[in-house]
């Protein structure tokens, strides 16, 4: 149980385009999901908290207009990287609250912006 | 600012050696504590967690961790590692119940030599 999927697993795009990443909780409902970035050989950096039916809460320093988050249902949150640039290239990971107070993580999406 | 420290950034062990990875946090109130493992190319998986009760927690794959409140520590242990334990290990902390945001440690990269 408590499986989280992400799609796509990797994406390559041109600078200036937008990319949408989906995060789904497959066997449970999640009112709260999280989006992280993971840089090579580093820990996870929390970008934002995604709440079903309400606006996402962004961490300090994360541009909300660049990283659009939509949590339209109890099993789906999406992260859209708008007008992507090479510095946005990273590994994006989502998680969802499964058991009480426990996050379950998706496999991640590797974004490469050319 | 609250922080989580993992002092061992890289650990190399031979198979059958014992493992102890350190995790210290700086928050003085009630905490929930987690250890996650990230195998190469895979998503983060929950190894074990502590919310309350017996401070010695047993997790999957033969791992255990001990919460020592006086030392603000939650060290991960395994008596005999295997080559398949090669992975990156992350400690995470949340502040009390109902607080879902994790504070992650920087991770410890473990390499087990066959």
Mean pLDDT, range A89-108, rounded to an integer = 90
B 81-100 near A (Cβ less than 8 A):
90, 94, 97-100
Six-digit token pair at B1?
Answer: 């600012």
Select from A41, A44, A102 the Cβ nearest to the Cβ of B49.
Answer: A102
pLDDT at B8: 87
Give the mutation candidate from B3, B43, B88 for the A interface (greatest A CB count, under 10 A). Answer: B43
pLDDT at B7: 86
pLDDT digits over A45-63, tens only?
999 999 888 889 999 999 9
Mean pLDDT, range A22-36, rounded to an integer = 93
Question: Mean pLDDT in chain A?
Answer: 92
Mean pLDDT, range A73-101, rounded to an integer = 92
Give the angle subtended at the CA of A20 by the CAs of A16 and B39, to the nearest 5°. 110
Residue ranges of chain B with per-residue pLDDT less than 50 = none
Q: Residue A43 and residue B43: Cβ atoms within 8 Å?
A: no
A36 and A95 in contact (C-beta within 8 Å)?
yes
A13 — pLDDT class (breaks 50, 70, 90): very high
Question: Does residue A41 register a pLDDT over 90?
Answer: no
Spatial distance between the Cα atoms of A104 and B82, rounded to a whole number of angstroms: 25
Is any Cβ of chain A less than 8 angstroms from the Cβ of B72? Answer: no
pLDDT at B98: 63
pLDDT at A53: 85
Q: Which of B15, B43, B35 is nearest to B107 (CA)?
A: B35
The residue that leads in pLDDT, A106 or B95, is A106
């Amino acid at each position: 149980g408590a499986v989280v999927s992400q799609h796509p697993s990797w994406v390559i795009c041109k600078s200036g385009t937008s990319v949408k990443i989906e995060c789904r909780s497959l066997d449970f409902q999640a009112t709260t999901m999280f989006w992280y970035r993971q840089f090579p050989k580093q820990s996870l950096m929390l970008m934002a908290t995604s709440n079903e039916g309400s606006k996402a809460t962004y961490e300090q320093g994360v541009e909300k207009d660049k990283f659009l988050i939509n949590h339209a249902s109890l099993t789906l949150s999406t992260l859209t990287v708008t007008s992507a640039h090479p510095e946005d290239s990273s590994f994006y990971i989502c998680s969802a609250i499964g058991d009480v107070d426990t996050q379950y993580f998706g496999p991640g999406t590797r974004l490469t912006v050319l | 600012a609250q922080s989580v420290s993992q002092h061992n950034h890289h650990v190399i062990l031979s198979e059958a050696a014992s493992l102890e990875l350190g995790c210290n946090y700086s928050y003085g109130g009630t905490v929930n504590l987690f250890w996650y493992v990230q195998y190469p190319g895979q998503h983060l998986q929950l190894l074990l967690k502590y919310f309350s009760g017996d401070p010695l927690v047993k997790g999957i794959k033969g791992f255990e961790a001990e919460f020592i409140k006086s030392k603000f520590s939650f060290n991960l242990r395994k008596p005999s590692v295997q080559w398949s334990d090669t992975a990156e290990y992350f400690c995470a902390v949340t502040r009390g119940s109902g607080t879902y945001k994790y504070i992650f440690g920087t991770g410890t990269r473990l390499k087990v030599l066959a």
